[in-house]
Amino acid sequence: MPVLMRPSPSSPSALRRGLVGVLSGVLAVAGLTAGTGSANAGTTAAPQTAVKAAAALAVQVNQLGYLPDGPKRATVVTTATAPTAWELRSAAGATVASGVTTARGGDAASGDSTHLADFSSYTGTGNGYTLVVDGARSHPFDIRAGLYNTLRSDAMSFFYQQRSGIAIDASLAGGAAYARPAGHLGVAPNKGDTSVPCQAGVCDYSRDVRGGWYDAGDHGKYVVNGGLSTWLLVNSFERADRAGTDAALGDSTLRVPERGNGVPDVLDEARWELDFLMRMQVPEGKPLAGTAFHKIHDANWTGLPTRPEQDDQQRELHRPSTAATLNLAATAAQCARVYAPYDAAFAARCLDSARRAWTAARANPNLIAPDSDGNGGGAYGDATVSDEFYWAGAELYATTGEAAYRDAVTASPWHTSSGAFTSFGFGWADTAALGRIVLATVPTGLPAAETTRLRASVTAAADAHLAAMSGQGYAVPLPSTAYVWGSNGQVANNGIVLAVAYGLTGQQRYRAGSIESLDYLLGRNTLGQSYISGYGEQPSRNQHHRFWANQYDASLPNPPAGSIAGGPNAALQDPVAQEELAGCKPAACYIDDIGSYSTNEVAVNWNAPLAWLTQFAAETTGGDGGDPPAAGCTVTYGIDSAWNNGFTATVTVKNTSTAPVDGWTLTWTYAGGQRVTNAWNATVTQSGAAVTAKDVGWNKAIAPGGSVSFGFQAGFTGSNPRPTAFTLNSAACG
């Protein structure tokens, strides 16, 4: 990820964006020969290996699909100047809708000549649709309610699987291939993280900084990136709580070891990082007490592949920074507000940490993290921290209501600057927008007129993103100049701004724009590439990572489903990209190769907005449209993935009666000795061969013609036959 230079709040029109610093994988090129090399490349899909050639005709769609009541648009690459006929075809080949395209002309980011095919008026549901234009056929896709439920769960599972300091359980991670021992708990050959010294000259003591998330494809842990990512996860819950849909993120909805403890699972996951962030705070009685160490990582880059428990490098704490300290202040203040109903003692600890961090940052405003500190881990340099002061002050004021924090917020130039939101989007180095979002959405003591102005700034930013989307061939909420390191994360971040605007206004154009942002990430782009592993016909498979490194070592897995790749980066900041992508158009500067860390790494700050956005999209249950069948229910039972002794499955229940279902219990029997081990979006129990799945509150209602989906993981020995019959509330389903 590059450092993105921010505009000055006093001159927001002077947008300055640079690609400086060397971050989480740059020097890892030294490790590219450390694995088994290209001899194992044939064990998975071959990486894309050339600059994209101009397509004569292509139909690019969201390869996962579309919501029944959401936008349904595709991009057609064609040199035709006149409107062209399109047909939407069912899996059986029947034409279910038709129309003509709208010519859009040249798309600056891709160089493609494009048309738009809009089939939003079609509200039927089903699997395996294709869009056909002038003989060219799209990848197949679904139209159904519950479309994003599994992706929401998988995007969150990424964080569990990135945890440091805990053994990763196969039953929670999706199979034995993803299980691993705990990393960095002081067990040889690890040299951390239970007693980590500082770099020479930084401090004369060691700290226990176990836990947290590995940041990206390396083993580093960074307060600024972890802070932003934690904030997004907790904010996703706080937003859902305001909308009355927080049960979807409640206890026992995700695959985390803490499930069943009475705390929403998304907050359990965020707490794993929050505990680490507070361990990074300099203790009382030490120089710079209350500040936060900027990061902890290996003294030198490890090679690829290296599992966490095999890392033999010395771990080091790096000098505290004001930016890290304010990230801690902001996330800990948010924690104090959101966790209070579930764990008052933890919330109080968070608030104490936040106050101490704020005081320490005010006393030490010029502890700047340098761009040069990039050996063994990313630099995360940030020379401007006025935006972090604004964000942290906003969170502390929203939580406490205290005048000192209010005054700090209203005195900040970011409070009135039009540059708080930019076309590139917020990020770990650009946090003023987060302060705006807090003040626009959380009730505070600010005057009503002030709150109205802040909310208007959010909707104005959302309108700018919609305008950018409408002027492009692929409807991306980014300008053509914004294809930088982590561009996919920026797409998702701007999608969040659109969703926040929808929450403030209820205006459907913002909801539609937010959901349409996911189309780009799931395949409606110039490469026809789903950047999310496990989703779509052409998903990313070889993201840069030291454990999910199947391209280098066939005994290791590919990244788990729900992991998003960084995305196109026109600067080509790694040797693989430079060799394979020279001359690429900005939106095509991507290659699915483990060596391309500047286009194909994973990172917590990219998966966090993906999780936020898919949670928002999943809240819409939709409807099938048309007249529902006369009576009954139907059940679709699909196995998503399977391995030698286990599998994951998704079950979709459709209400085909004319009456709504208010609370549901689905039962079936296994004939092969299968045993359900955990589930999401339903409470699943098993007695012998009989399995019972019950709603989890937020999804208890199934409208006539509507559907609900849930998933589970199970083990088996021998065969794995599918159930032959289901009952819904004691009535047989078809």
229/148 Cα distance (integer angstroms): 20
Alpha helices, H only, 244-377: 265-279, 322-338, 344-363
Answer whether 364's CB lies under 8 Å from 322's CB: yes
Tokens of 98: 């038709």
The H or E element that residue 75 is part of is: strand 73-78
Cβ-in-10-Å burial (0-12, 13-18, 19+) of 715 comes to middle
Residue 54 vs residues 43, 527, 584, 714: alpha-carbon distances, Å: 29, 10, 11, 45
With 0-12 / 13-18 / 19 or more C-beta atoms within 10 angstroms meaning exposed / middle / buried, residue 262 is exposed
Question: Chain-centre distance of CA 359, in angstroms?
Answer: 32
Is-catalytic flag, 415?
no
Backbone angles phi, psi at 643, to 5 degrees: -135, -170
Whether 544 is catalytic is yes
Contact at 8 Å (CB) between 466 and 498? yes
Q: Which helix (H) or strand (E) is 387 found in, with range?
A: helix 386-400
3-state SS, residue 324 = helix
Q: State the catalytic residue, choosing from 382, 592, 619, 695.
A: 592
> What are residue 136's DSSP bridge partners?
133
What are the beta bridge partners of residue 675? 715
Q: CA angle 19-542-62, nearest 5°?
A: 85
Catalytic residue among 154, 218, 246, 695: 218
3-state secondary structure of 127: strand
Annotated catalytic residue: which of 112, 430, 601, 624?
601
Gap between the Cα atoms of 151 and 153, Å rounded: 5
> Which residue shows structure tokens 């000259």?
201
Catalytic entry in 544, 545, 574, 580: 544
- Using DSSP's 3-state secondary structure scheme, residue 709 falls into strand
- The tokens describing 516, both together, are 């349409």
Active site residue 601: yes
Give the whole-angstrom CA distance, residue 4 versus residue 485: 9
Structure tokens at 509: 């154009």
In terms of Cβ atoms closer than 10 Å to its own Cβ (0-12, 13-18, 19+), residue 102 is middle
Q: Is the peptide bond before 7 cis (omega within 30 degrees of 0)?
A: no
- DSSP helix/strand/coil, 136: strand
**Burial class of residue 60, CB neighbours in 10 A (0-12, 13-18, 19+):** buried
Give 159: exposed, middle or buried? Use CB within 10 Å, 0-12, 13-18, 19+.
Answer: buried
Beta strands in 357-426 (DSSP E): none
Query: Residue 222's CB: how many other CB atoms inside 10 A?
Result: 34
Other CB atoms within a 10 A radius of the CB of residue 734 amount to 12
Among 386, 393, 387, CA closest to 357? 393
Side-chain half-sphere CA neighbours of 234 within 13 A: 26
Element (H, E) at 236: helix 223-243
User: Helix or strand or coil: residue 103?
Assistant: strand
Q: How many CB atoms lie within 10 A of CB 90?
A: 16
- Give catalytic residue positions: 218, 544, 592, 601
